[in-house]
Amino acid sequence: MNANPLLCTSRVWPVLAAAAVALCGSVAVAEDAADSHQEPTSVQLELYGDLFTEYRNERREDGPNGDAFELQRALVGVEGSVGLGVASLEVESTRSVSPQSSFGIDGNALVLRVRRAEAGVEATGELWRVRAVAGVVRHGWVASTETGYRLRGMSEMVSERAGFVDPGDVGATAELGLWSDRLVVGAQLVNGEGRSDVERNDGKSVIGYARGRVLALDVHRGPLWLDLHVFGQEGSVGGGSARAHRLGTALTFVGPCPSAGLEWVRAWGVDDDASRVGMSFGAWAESRIATRWIGVHTRYDRIWTDVAFAEAKTHRTTVGLFSDLVEVDASRGRAGLRAYAAYELERSGDRAGDVAGVQALGNASRVRLVVELRGRGTVLGSGAGQ
């Protein structure tokens, strides 16, 4: 019942069919594009990087207190294209390798790992774009929702934090964008174990995702848009092939001054346990106050580690200020140097902590000071002869 050997259930067919259509489409379009474009091959190379680092002072309810400097993320990536060929490589540092790692000890090593390494083809027409890549690919849901998420320096999306989705996996992605990416539809076929683990069963995870721009306006201070995101995943994980099915939707709003969003994900199969059903909900907003030097942000996350129990949920509320110390272009929160100061309150139900029955092990309050540095630049962009 839990096993998901590839193609063994009828439910995967709709998503697989979508993937096949997109893949075939991308190849066909790529061939057309190759035939029709006789112009010299273009070459482009972009370099980008993120650095999130923070100081955190944490107090537990009647429990251990402490403070620490942490490097949340140090990431460098490169994206390149040669004609229709595209490739990207992204490397990140991570503090927490997992138990049973063959290198470093759990939580006590700073190691580099590949977050994304994909290659394939991409072709673009007047109203469309198709892309097909394989390798370590970004999870379609994370890639889609982060296009409208401006608080990544503070926290990943709640579904990722809950462990319901991994930001990357080994597999293939086929994506179709229409009307200048106002509608993006994609399908993925991946191992299901996530980017840092080896495949442990014969099943594959099939993911379908879409992003549609339901509102796009130009107001006097710049463009604003509202995107609707959806995704579904039928998958399996672990040596036991426990189900790992997911369904999610999100709304992201980005304007010239404020941005905001909502995210909801339901997870059938949690922590290798096929019988558990989890859920996550997140809401966030941020806005500058008149000037780039000062802004406010807030965020609320709720994670149900098992929806069968009322006490199996955690809440996290964050409020704070930010300042865009260095701004690159108008890409607010996407490039530049931003500093956050925040107060965070976390509460867990009786069954949601690391040790069920000890409620307060999950209850904490934190003061966080976060520095977020993000940048992107073209290091090589030319056509032949340039």
Q: 196 to 215, contacts with other proteins by CB under 8 A?
A: 198-202, 208, 210-215
Q: How far is the CB of 324 from other proteins (least distance, A)?
A: 29
Q: Three-class SS of residue 238?
A: coil
Q: Would you tell me how many other CB atoms lie within 10 Å of the CB of residue 272? A: 14
- Residue whose CB is less far from other proteins, 19 or 373: 19
First to last CA, the chain: 59
- Residue whose CB is less far from other proteins, 142 or 210: 210
> Per CB under 8 A, does 58 bind other proteins?
yes
> Per CB under 8 A, does 232 bind other proteins?
yes
Ramachandran class of 194: left when φ > 0, alpha when ψ lies in -120 to 50, beta otherwise: left
Q: Give the span between the Cα atoms of 139 and 190, in whole angstroms.
A: 9
Alpha helices, DSSP H, located in the chain: 12-36, 140-145, 158-161
Q: How far is the CB of 34 from other proteins (least distance, A)?
A: 28
> Per CB under 8 A, does 99 bind other proteins?
yes
CA torsion 355→356→358→360, rounded to 10°?
80
Q: Give the span between the Cα atoms of 97 and 89, in whole angstroms.
A: 20
What sign results for the dihedral spanned by CA atoms 88, 94, 100, 102?
positive
- Residue whose CB is less far from other proteins, 64 or 385: 64
> Per CB under 8 A, does 365 bind other proteins?
no
The residue within the footprint of other proteins, chosen from 1, 39, 69, 126 (CB under 8 A), is: 1
The half-sphere exposure of 123 on its side-chain side, counting CA atoms within 13 A, is: 17
The residue within the footprint of other proteins, chosen from 52, 149, 164, 231 (CB under 8 A), is: 231
The residue within the footprint of other proteins, chosen from 31, 41, 82, 96 (CB under 8 A), is: 96
Residues 66-85 that bind other proteins (CB under 8 A): 66, 68
Please, which residues have CB within 8 angstroms of residue 377's CB and are 6 or more apart in sequence?
Answer: 46, 47, 48
Q: How far is the CB of 317 from other proteins (least distance, A)?
A: 17
- Residue whose CB is less far from other proteins, 42 or 101: 101
> Per CB under 8 A, does 354 bind other proteins?
yes
* Binding segment toward other proteins, per CB under 8 A, in 104-112, 144-152, 254-262, 376-384: 104-112
Residues 264-303 that bind other proteins (CB under 8 A): 266, 268-269, 271-277
